Every structure is written in C-alpha cells, then in structure tokens.
A and B are shown apart, each in its own frame.
Chain A
C-alpha cells in the first residue's frame, strides 16, 4: 500500500511542490488548503504523515495540530511542520506541541524527502514489485525485551499470521541476530537498561542492510517522556502497554507495506465477498474502503458480477461503518453488480435506529445470500426474456 501523506497549506504552490517532491516514491498525496479541510481529510484518509503549514486562513496550523492531538483517533498520526518562520523561539514553541519534525522554508525537495523518510517508510516506484507482499506471506519479526511474558504475549497474539517471532533479551543479542539475518521488523522495549534501546536503534539505522527496517518502540502508556524521546529520534511507531494486539498487528502490516486486502476480500465461485471483522477500528474501515474501490471493479473486470457484503460479525453500527457500507453498495450499483448483505438479528435491530439503514435487509448466511442473488439473477433473466418475446 502506498504511503499516504496529507499536505495542509493554503498555498497551492507549496502543495504542488510537495507533490512533486514525492513523485518518484510510492506515495499518495492528499491536499488540504486550511486547518478545517485538513482535519476532515485526516479523519477520512488516516494519512501516515501530515505536513502542516502554520499560517493559514480559516484555521491555522497550530489550532489544527491541537485538535489533532485532542482526538484519540488522529493523535498518533505524525506531524511535520512546514513553516516560513524559523526563529529560535518559534521553533521551540512548535516543538513543544508534539510534532515529529519541522522544516523551514525555503527548503530543498531532497531535504523534505529525507526528513519524511525518517518518519515513514518511502519506497521508490522503481522498487515496487509487480505483486506486493501480502498479509499471508511470511515475515521475520524480532522482539527485543527482557520480559519473557511480553514476548509470549506478542507471539500468541500473532500466531494466526504467517509471521515468525524471534526474540532477544538485550541489545547485544539483538545485534548478534541482525548480523546473521535482517529482520523484517523489530519491536524493542524502550525500558531496556542503560538506554540500550536507543543505542540499538542508532546501530540499526546506521547499517545499510537494516536502514529501512521498521523499528517499533514498546513502553508503558504513562511513560510520555519516553514516547516523546522515541518520536524525536524517528522510531517508526510507539506501542504502549498494555498491548492492543489488533492495533499492533494493523501497525505492523502497515509498516511492512503489506497488502492486507486478503483479510477482507475473497473470490468464492461467482461472487466476491467483502467481510468486515468484529473489531472495526477506524483504521480498518479506512483500509477496507481503500481496497474496495479497487477490488470491486477488478472483480467485474474478471467476470464476477455479484458481491456479498458479510457483516455478520458486527455487533452494532456507527457512522463510519454506515458510510463504508453505503459507499460499497453505491459502488456495486454503479458497476452493475448485484449484491446482498449477510448480518445478524442484533445488527438488523441496530440498523432500524438510523434513517439511512432502516430499510436494509440481511441474509442469515452467505449461502442464503447466494440463493437470494440467484433468485434476483433469475428474475432479471426472465424479465429480459419476456421483453424479447
């Protein structure tokens, strides 16, 4: 999946320059002209990074940044400030707001790319393989933690994947492992003694073989100073304990640049099935929405004209889910695909509470959905026959 960068600047010139800077990379650039648009774009697209101007009309960059940090869903998105104001006091002031980095205008495109590359992985378009790695491909993950319980927790939590969890208890052991093979991703406890986690990070980054290896820091939720320090040096992501394993897996998949569409989309016979998991975090909805726009047309192109939207695992609905399902059904109609939804009684009841969903009907199982679609197709066929006659 391409890295998503949101550029928020009232100057169209700057937005064009940012877009131009990342032309050679596998990046999707999203634009916004002020803080209000920026917040909406951040909520809708969940970018991997926001490049944010300060002086803007309607809502300036500082206010937008504060609103981002106040929203639990948007807070983790790293922000880089792009500013014409480089005075010492000003830089200190914005650094305290919790940004990952800043760049002062005028700037060279190479400098911008280098700074961004320290925060999110950037892949040159020439490096992109015809078939990107997917969620079902194997990967080697190195967990560096002197607490065996944490390693076990991660290993157990990810056992449904094809990822192999290797472990090390110290910086020295981790370096010994890395000398033999480069892991695909590292998860390192930031509370290793003598600040050795940061020393390990520097060693990993200085090694050309592991320079691009995603490096996650692991720390207790209340250790905000540690989290801040990790962000300052450019650690890929910070995972807080207690570990949310669903969130961890999602962040790892993103950092490994994996095609996660197989989690949600499957071709079965003459239908494409889109399946939502029980835990529909906003990041999951964004991923599914992103893949849906490509997968449904791809299916039609391959001769599939039926879609089954399987949401039976959901226990309730919220606006994010409603929006996704409406976009999906709309896309099916635009493509001329017949579709059916699979749900459960609790979901049907919940949908009656909303104007947009109260008319929705659900089949009980995917087999029932197939039968329904077969009846719809047969009815369409006999109507066509009647008209011809």
Chain B
C-alpha cells in the first residue's frame, strides 16, 4: 500500500483548498479565502489539539474515505452559517429553513461535506491513491473536540467565507 507520508502537506492543502473553493463557489456562489492551517501537528496519545475554537453551536459534517488512503474529513460550520448556507443551497428563506428544522440543515451540511470529500478524493485518485467514500454523518453540539484514537496525520484548515469561519479537518492514517 503506498505510504501517505509520500504525499506532502502542500499537496494535501492544495487538494482541500480546491475542493472547498469549488464546492462553495459552484453550489453556493460564495467565495472562500485561502485556507489557513489551524493545527496539523501529529497527534500522539495524551496530546490535545485545541486549535479549533469552540463556537456556540457547531454543525459538523463527516465523510470517511477508504482504500489506498484511509481517513476522515470533517467540515465544521457554526449553526448560524450552516442555516444560511442551507437556505442558499435549497432556495429557501431563513424562516423556511428554521421552520423545516435541524434535519434540513443537517442534510445540507452532510451533502456539502460529501461534495468536498468527493472532490478531495478525486484529486487523490488522480494522483494514484484510489479510495471510496462512506456516506456522510453529522455531529451537532458545542464544546466538543474530535480526536483520533491512534497516532495519525492531521490536516486542519480554516477558511473565511462572508465573515464566517469554516474549518476542514482531515485525519489520515500514516503508513501501516
């Protein structure tokens, strides 16, 4: 199995920035700023990564990818921006989104995460690392931190979008 360590951090960043820019631009018509790293240190047992600032309520989409490369991609929104993006995506007013409930927002965030993971994964595949995606799932809440259970390589980037912050957090296996 090819070792992910051969894929340098710049390439990973390039893939994820393109994916986020493409998805937000195409589906929402929103421009995003350049992704700034916000904590890509290797996480060893006992060391907490606190670079992701807790927000009032977070809505987080997650999609896994499996194959030559194994990992998870998380996409963090604050709940307000998640609701706004849902309205744009589905052609609904904020009042309509609020009336429809959290399920609609969760589904929209899940789909955006799916698309970003898909774009990211396609770039990996084209570089020779084939893998498949899992179906998305959603985390919702406040003051939580996601940590890998074993040592892994982590790539987290923060993007500015219309005054809000979104964060992508990719956790990937090292060579096995």
The distance from the CB of A72 to the nearest CB of chain B, in whole angstroms, is 32
Q: Tell me whether B26 and A20 are in contact (CB under 8 A).
A: no
Q: What are 6 A-B interface contacts by the 8 Å CB criterion?
A: A11-B111, A55-B135, A83-B118, A85-B132, A106-B23, A107-B26
Q: Which of B75-83, B120-128, B151-159, B160-168 is the contact stretch?
A: B120-128
Query: In the bound complex, what is the Cα–Cα distance between A12 and B23 (angstroms)?
Result: 18
Q: Tell me whether A106 and B27 are in contact (CB under 8 A).
A: yes
Q: Tell me whether B115 and A84 are in contact (CB under 8 A).
A: yes
Task: Give chain A residues whose Cβ lies under 8 Å from the Cβ of B43.
Answer: none
Q: Tell me whether B118 and A12 are in contact (CB under 8 A).
A: no
How many residues on the B side are at the interface (Cβ–Cβ under 8 A)?
25
Known contacts A55-B135, A106-B22; A86 and B107 CB within 8 A of each other: no
Residue in A86, A89, A107, A108 with the greatest tally of chain B CB atoms within 10 Å:
A86
Q: Is A310 an interface residue (CB 8 A)?
A: no
Q: Is B17 an interface residue (CB 8 A)?
A: no
Known contacts A13-B108, A16-B90, A17-B89; A106 and B115 CB within 8 A of each other: yes
Query: In the bound complex, what is the Cα–Cα distance between A56 and B135 (angstroms)?
Result: 7
Q: Is B130 an interface residue (CB 8 A)?
A: yes
Q: Is B46 an interface residue (CB 8 A)?
A: no
Interface positions, chain B 139-175, Cβ under 8 Å from A, are none
- The 7 A-B residue pairs with the shortest CB-CB distance, nearest first, are A84-B118, A87-B125, A106-B26, A13-B111, A105-B115, A106-B23, A106-B27
Q: Is A101 an interface residue (CB 8 A)?
A: no
Task: Give chain A residues whose Cβ lies under 8 Å from the Cβ of B26.
Answer: 106-108
Interface positions, chain A 71-127, Cβ under 8 Å from B, are 83-90, 104-108
Q: Which positions in A face B, CB cutoff 8 Å?
A: 10-14, 16-17, 20, 55-57, 83-90, 104-108
Q: Is B91 an interface residue (CB 8 A)?
A: yes
Q: Tell me whether B90 and A84 are in contact (CB under 8 A).
A: no
Majority SS at the chain A contact face = loop
Q: How many A-B residue pairs have CB under 8 A?
A: 65
Q: Tell me whether A85 and B89 are in contact (CB under 8 A).
A: no
Task: Give chain A residues whose Cβ lies under 8 Å from the Cβ of B90.
Answer: 13, 16-17, 20
Question: Looking at the complex, which one of B91, B111, B122 makes contact with A86 (CB distance below 8 Å)?
Answer: B122
Q: Is B59 an interface residue (CB 8 A)?
A: no
Q: Mark B70-100, 1 if CB is under 8 A from A, else 0.
A: 0000000000000000000111000000000
Known: A14-B111, A85-B125, A89-B130. 5 other contacts (CB 8 A): A11-B111, A84-B115, A104-B122, A105-B118, A106-B22
- By beta carbon, the residue of chain B nearest A107 is B26
Q: Is B4 an interface residue (CB 8 A)?
A: no
Task: Give chain A residues whose Cβ lies under 8 Å from the Cβ of B126.
Answer: 87-88
Q: Tell me whether B107 and A13 are in contact (CB under 8 A).
A: yes
Q: Is B38 an interface residue (CB 8 A)?
A: no
Q: Is B110 an interface residue (CB 8 A)?
A: yes
Question: Looking at the complex, which one of A12, A14, A17, A20 makes contact with B104 (CB distance below 8 Å)?
Answer: A12
Q: Is B133 an interface residue (CB 8 A)?
A: yes
Q: Tell me whether B89 and A11 are in contact (CB under 8 A).
A: no
Interface positions, chain B 100-116, Cβ under 8 Å from A, are 104, 107-108, 110-111, 114-115
Known contacts A16-B90, A17-B89, A90-B125; A85 and B108 CB within 8 A of each other: no
Q: Is B117 an interface residue (CB 8 A)?
A: yes
Interface positions, chain B 1-50, Cβ under 8 Å from A, are 22-23, 26-27
